[in-house]
Amino acid sequence: MPPVRNVLYIMCDQLRRDYLSCYGHAHLHTPNIDRLAAAGVRFSRAYTQGTICGPSRMSAYTGRYVSSHQVAWNAVPLPLEELTLGDYLRPHGIRTALVGKTHATPNLDALQRLEIDPDSAQAQPLNEVGFEAYVRHDGIFPDSPLFADKRESAPYTHYLREQGYAGTNPWHTWANAAAGQDGEILSGWHMRNAHLPARVAEAHSETAYTTDRAIDFIHEQGAQPWCLHLSYIKPHWPYIAPAPYHALYGADQVQAPIRAEPGQASDHPVYQAFRQHQESLNFSRDEVRLRVIPTYMGLIKQVDDQLGRLFDVLHNTGRWDDTLIVFTSDHGDFLGDHHLGEKEFLLEPAVGVPLIVRDPRAAADISRGTVDARLVETIDALPTFLEALGLPTAEHRLEGRSLIALLHGLETDWRRMTMVRSERWKYLAYDGFRAQLFDLENDPQELHDLGADPAYAPVREVHQGYLFEWLRGLKRRTTISHAEIDLRGQRFRYGEPEAEKVVQIGVW
Amino acid sequence: MPPVRNVLYIMCDQLRRDYLSCYGHAHLHTPNIDRLAAAGVRFSRAYTQGTICGPSRMSAYTGRYVSSHQVAWNAVPLPLEELTLGDYLRPHGIRTALVGKTHATPNLDALQRLEIDPDSAQAQPLNEVGFEAYVRHDGIFPDSPLFADKRESAPYTHYLREQGYAGTNPWHTWANAAAGQDGEILSGWHMRNAHLPARVAEAHSETAYTTDRAIDFIHEQGAQPWCLHLSYIKPHWPYIAPAPYHALYGADQVQAPIRAEPGQASDHPVYQAFRQHQESLNFSRDEVRLRVIPTYMGLIKQVDDQLGRLFDVLHNTGRWDDTLIVFTSDHGDFLGDHHLGEKEFLLEPAVGVPLIVRDPRAAADISRGTVDARLVETIDALPTFLEALGLPTAEHRLEGRSLIALLHGLETDWRRMTMVRSERWKYLAYDGFRAQLFDLENDPQELHDLGADPAYAPVREVHQGYLFEWLRGLKRRTTISHAEIDLRGQRFRYGEPEAEKVVQIGVW
């Protein structure tokens, strides 16, 4: 089978799976993303590796679990020796570029120890976790001197100034703020302002800007092979949208929150602790949900509109026919479900992500427009790209699995996942606390925690066994390939023919 | 408490714990090692992290489990970002040198990707896993063109030639070979030659040469602080010793093999497979044991004599009083016990190692000459050095524990270990096979495998739980310290005071 030529890897930030019409949202219509789903496969049970940005993204870029790549929290640097998308593709002549966000943090300690100047060309791809930073835009520039360097080095800051949005921090004062009645700046950090239009024109907002740069790259690259990571910061907070997206939806289009009956919610101490966070307390109030969620929906609608523009470009340039396209998110957002805000907990609104894959090749025609309910993960993207591009795999490192066989309708043994997610159950293990268990078949909203119910001890035991098996199966010998190990074995030990062994042990 | 000034970290290769008189050998008298034990603490239940050289040593040098540092087999390169002894000590002005063996393999792929010339000064400590290679001597130069570069770059090759031992591979033809009746070379690779004297004079043999270089280093360093890793290749095979050590012991001084009664040995498939290796089949024969083991004992006796010389130097220079001394081995040797040869199996003759620690400070007087039966590990050495030298620890990386509290008689919670070794039991887990279980209290020789006995299911379950807990506790966020994480948390999130938070989430 001929390989695809390009890969377009689109990621939103903090986009919930169920906030797209193809995933069932009743009021938020996303026709362009739906168009991609109709032309490819929509995975209905895709999961992210981490429910905050950094861990999730490093899993996406390395094809490895958080436990393996070690970025267990935001702003933790990736070990330099973790190979990423760009490391796998670039040696094969595929320009691998970033437009948007990665949440990568330079590993300055390691660079210093290896005597590599962090500002050198040598360090550049290391600092950008393997990407060529065509445009890096992570968003989030708080109005603090701590962020001055980051803000001034950001292309979007200068772009905004060129468009006439003046000031030291136009991201904050224009793109993520509204104007009060007396012209005062009302910050998007305050959710009470979510219903107001941002001070930036839609065409200059982060989502439009990011799409423009992606289109620039695709035009610039022409028929040369590329992999583009188009990575939107939105609909991540601050929850504030440019007109007209701030006002497209109203309180009557907000879905009812997913919550257990009073007194029936899990008493698990970890869950209870998360309920006390400020964002959880605020999102537990209807006043907050009904003001914020319409804007969250508007931000998603804007992404969909911008993707419509982009897909048109792909069609008009012929790229639709030679490009593998993936659309996904790094994690979800509780938005008040389960009386939680943000995403640092492994219930479905946070850990479930949309995942749509379109393979342009004829072999994938069999699956176009279908829904695949098999358990797939963020780490599967990189192995999928390698197989689609016809490149060698790296079995001693990659912990994800290529989805190509699924797209091509080929029979294959598939997985249960850890978290642990099995076909029916979700099992959450804790250090120092009892586990939680949910029956997703009979309780898809995860309202009944079976983690302390003696009747379910055998189910928990089986899932502890899965977790144990998974922990032992992580790839922990990454500096040398399986093939090289086999070769050495044959030369030095254990292999045949005996007479050719170089190191002789136990000979009489 | 004032720190010690120097660290002397002595390691033998393939030395069994029970082949020293202080550990109970009836015929092999090792007065110099015993002298160290009398002046320090002898740990009676010390374990290595891996029963082959590379994994064991990388655990020693990193203070981390094999699962963490990833060197799961010999000749697997250590990831460049694994910090080692030298990385911890050198920034504090402590010259950290190697005399002898490390089994380190340069990580050429990683160097290439980082654009570091493997022959540059920058790469030197990386290639030597953090040591200054005062003298690197790994031994083992098979007579094959594959080893030509390694052989020619080895100082010992040139040393031997300077002493008049000519040829392309004097290690093989002189130091590890005997002469036949007609002057023909009888290779030490063939165990049938083990009773013959090596063609090298004792003073020029590997053990004497290595000791000489260590003494050179100690004299050269004078009163400047140092850490010396003195790492003998012996008593590792080839089993051949220079006169008079080839003939000090006879068959009547060989201990009886540890073996189950006929028909009572474990039927476990992994164990049974190891019994079919050539070295296991040969060591199962009395003819082999009775010829090889006396030479193995002679090689150990030579190490002890050389350590006597070295300890005298330490006394005469005053270094005995300001140097922490550790004596250990990387793993043991089955020598026919359990019908096995070599060491790749986790029974006591392979996984148990001698460990003697002498802290020169007055605070350790309380423990001098005592035997400590607590469960300690090879990875504990590095944290012990850091504490003794008064240097900062690295809690986010190090998986071992400093032994200083034990040496100073301080109360401390101690561990059970994984393998899993608990106070009473040893549990060996396998992928795809049932576990093995031994009751070391009632079956210290591990002759009764309880891994399939239904009566011991609860014990196995508890130990599977320990293994699960251990796997989850491995240090997997190594690029950033705990202190830095706390600092960021306070600035950006979750910490107090609330008003100083820079990134504001969920504010109304």
pLDDT in tens, B3-26: 999 999 999 999 999 999 999 999
Residues A190 and A188: their CA atoms lie apart, in Å, by: 5
Q: Is B477 on the interface with A (CB under 8 A)?
A: yes
Mean of the pLDDT values across residues B207-236?
A: 98
Q: CA torsion, points B341, B343, B346, B350, in degrees to nearest 10?
A: 100
- Chain B hits for A480, CB-CB cut-off 8 Å, are 75-77
Residue B288 confidence (pLDDT):
97
List the single best residue of A476, A500, A501 to mutate versus B (max B Cβ within 10 A): A476
A 70-109 → B contacts, CB under 8 A: 70-73, 75-81, 83, 87, 107, 109
Residue B369 has pLDDT above 90, yes or no: yes
pLDDT in tens, A11-30: 999 999 999 999 999 999 99
Residue B27 has pLDDT above 90, yes or no: yes
A 183-202 → B contacts, CB under 8 A: 189-192
Residue B130 has pLDDT above 70, yes or no: yes
Q: Is B293 on the interface with A (CB under 8 A)?
A: no
- Nearest-Å Rg of the Cα atoms of chain A is 24
Among A187-191, A313-317, A319-323, A490-494, the minimum mean pLDDT is found in: A490-494
Please tell me the pTM assigned to this model: 0.89
Residue B465 confidence (pLDDT):
84
Structure tokens at B237: 């095979």
CB contact under 8 A, A278 and B505: yes
pLDDT in tens, B171-194: 999 999 999 999 999 999 999 999
Of residues A11, A34, A38, the one with CA closest to residue A326? A11
Residue A131 has pLDDT above 50, yes or no: yes
Domain boundaries, chain B: 6-137+201-414, 417-473
Backbone angles phi, psi at A226, to 5 degrees: -150, 160
Distances (CA, A) of B409 to A251, B39, B363, B365, B366: 68, 15, 8, 9, 6
Residue A404 has pLDDT above 60, yes or no: yes
Answer whether B331's CB lies under 8 Å from B51's CB. Answer: yes
- Chain A hits for B78, CB-CB cut-off 8 Å, are 479
Residue A492 has pLDDT above 70, yes or no: no
Residue B440 confidence (pLDDT):
86
- Chain A hits for B191, CB-CB cut-off 8 Å, are 506-508
Q: Is A255 on the interface with B (CB under 8 A)?
A: no
Query: Most confidently modeled of A63-67, A384-388, B66-70?
Result: A384-388
Beta strand spans in B141-267 (E): 177-179, 185-187, 226-231
Note the residue count of chain A. Answer: 508
Residue A304 has pLDDT above 70, yes or no: yes
Q: Is B491 on the interface with A (CB under 8 A)?
A: yes
> Running DSSP on this structure, what letter comes out for residue B354?
E
Structure tokens at B316: 């005469």
Residue A460 has pLDDT above 50, yes or no: yes
β-sheet bridge partners, residue B100: B136, B231
CB contact under 8 A, A479 and B280: no
Question: Where does the pLDDT of residue B488 fall: very low under 50, low under 70, confident under 90, or very high at 90 and above?
Answer: low
Mean of the pLDDT values across residues A140-155?
A: 89
Structure tokens at B18: 């029970």
Q: CA torsion, points A459, A460, A466, A472, in degrees to nearest 10?
A: -160
pLDDT in tens, B254-285: 999 999 888 888 888 888 989 999 999 999 99
List the single best residue of B478, B480, B500 to mutate versus A (max A Cβ within 10 A): B480
pLDDT above 70 as % of chain B: 95
Q: CA torsion, points A398, A404, A409, A412, in degrees to nearest 10?
A: -10
Residue B494 confidence (pLDDT):
46
Of residues B111, B345, B76, B104, the one with CA closest to residue A485? B76
Residues A338 and A260: their CA atoms lie apart, in Å, by: 7
CB contact under 8 A, A505 and B279: yes
CB contact under 8 A, B507 and A283: no
Instruction: A165-174: list long-range contacts, CB under 8 Å, 24+ apart.
Output: A165/A199, A165/A200, A165/A204, A169/A141, A169/A143, A171/A139, A171/A141, A172/A141, A172/A142, A172/A143, A173/A143, A173/A199, A174/A198, A174/A199, A174/A200
Residue A267 confidence (pLDDT):
85
CB contact under 8 A, A502 and B279: no
> Running DSSP on this structure, what letter comes out for residue B310?
H
Residue A92 confidence (pLDDT):
97
Residue tagged 């040593």 (tokens): B57
Residue B116 has pLDDT above 50, yes or no: yes
Which listed CATH number (3.40.720.10, 1.10.287.1060, 3.40.140.10, 3.30.460.80) goes with A6-137+201-414?
Answer: 3.40.720.10
Residue B470 confidence (pLDDT):
80
Instruction: Select the more confidently predicted residue: A495 or B340.
Output: B340
- Say what the ipTM of the complex is: 0.84
Question: Where does the pLDDT of residue B147 fall: very low under 50, low under 70, confident under 90, or very high at 90 and above?
Answer: confident
Cis, bond preceding B235 (omega within 30 deg of 0)? yes
Count of Cβ atoms closer than 10 Å to residue A146 Cβ? 12
Mean of the pLDDT values across residues B401-405?
A: 95
Chains A and B form CB pairs within 8 A to the count of 167
CA torsion sign for B308, B314, B320, B324 is negative
CB contact under 8 A, B472 and A192: no
Mean of the pLDDT values across residues A408-419?
A: 76
CB contact under 8 A, A107 and B189: no
Question: Where does the pLDDT of residue A76 fall: very low under 50, low under 70, confident under 90, or very high at 90 and above?
Answer: confident
Q: Give A341-361 as a DSSP string.
A: -SS-S-SHHHHEEEEEEE--S
Count of Cβ atoms closer than 10 Å to residue B117 Cβ? 10
Structure tokens at A340: 């939680």
Nearest residue of chain B to residue A288 (CA atoms): B508
- Chain A hits for B236, CB-CB cut-off 8 Å, are none
Beta strand spans in B41-106 (E): 41-47, 95-100
Residue B416 confidence (pLDDT):
61
Q: Which of A190, A277, A479 sits opposite B508 (nearest CB)?
A: A190
A 10-29 → B contacts, CB under 8 A: none
Residues A462 and A320: their CA atoms lie apart, in Å, by: 45
Gap from A89 CA to chain B (nearest CA, Å): 13
Residues A1 and A408: their CA atoms lie apart, in Å, by: 11
Residue A494 has pLDDT above 50, yes or no: no
User: Which residues, in sequence order, are CB contacts of A86 under 8 Å at separation 6+?
Assistant: A96, A125, A129, A130, A131, A132, A227
Residue A486 has pLDDT above 60, yes or no: yes
Q: Is B41 on the interface with A (CB under 8 A)?
A: no
CA A367-A373-A374 angle, to 5 degrees, is 95
- The whole-chain average pLDDT of chain A stands at 92
Q: Is A120 on the interface with B (CB under 8 A)?
A: no
CB contact under 8 A, B508 and A191: yes
Residues B426 and B446: their CA atoms lie apart, in Å, by: 9
pLDDT in tens, B48-87: 998 999 999 999 999 999 888 989 888 889 999 999 999 9
Q: Is B370 on the interface with A (CB under 8 A)?
A: no
3 state DSSP class of B317: helix
